[in-house]
Amino acid sequence: MSTDTAVKMPALYIGHGAPPLLDDPIWSGQLAGWSKDLPAPKAILVISAHWESAPLTLGATETVPLIYDFGGFAPKYYNMQYTAPGAPELAARIKAMLNEPVTDQPRRGLDHGAWVPLMKMYPDANIPVLQMSIPTHDPEKLFELGKKLAPLRDEGVLIIGSGFMTHGLPFLKEFRIEATPPGWSVEFDIWAKEVLQRGAVDELMNYKALAPGMPYAHPTVEHFAPIFITLGAATVADAAPQVAIEGYWMGLAKTSFQVA
Q: Where are the domains of the chain?
A: 11-259
CB atoms within 10 A of CB 235: 15
Per-residue model confidence (pLDDT) at position 51: 98
Q: Name the pTM for this structure.
A: 0.96
Per-residue model confidence (pLDDT) at position 6: 87
Instruction: Of 1, 29, 2, 31, give the one whose Cα is nearest residue 15.
Output: 31
Residue 258 CA: distances (Å) to CA of 87, 233, 243, 251: 22, 10, 7, 22
Phi and psi dihedrals of 134, rounded to 5?
-85, 115
Average pLDDT per 10 consecutive residues for the chain, totaling 260 residues: 79 95 96 97 98 98 97 94 98 94 96 98 98 98 97 98 97 92 98 96 97 98 98 85 96 97
Per-residue model confidence (pLDDT) at position 2: 59
Per-residue model confidence (pLDDT) at position 99: 83
Per-residue model confidence (pLDDT) at position 244: 97
Q: Which CATH class is domain 11-259?
A: alpha beta
45 vs 162: CA distance, rounded Å = 10
Instruction: Of 216, 213, 191, 214, give the one whose Cα is nearest residue 204.
Output: 191
Instruction: Of 11, 8, 1, 22, give the one whose Cα is nearest residue 249.
Output: 22
Residue 218 CA: distances (Å) to CA of 2, 3, 160, 166, 188: 39, 38, 20, 6, 9
Per-residue model confidence (pLDDT) at position 120: 98
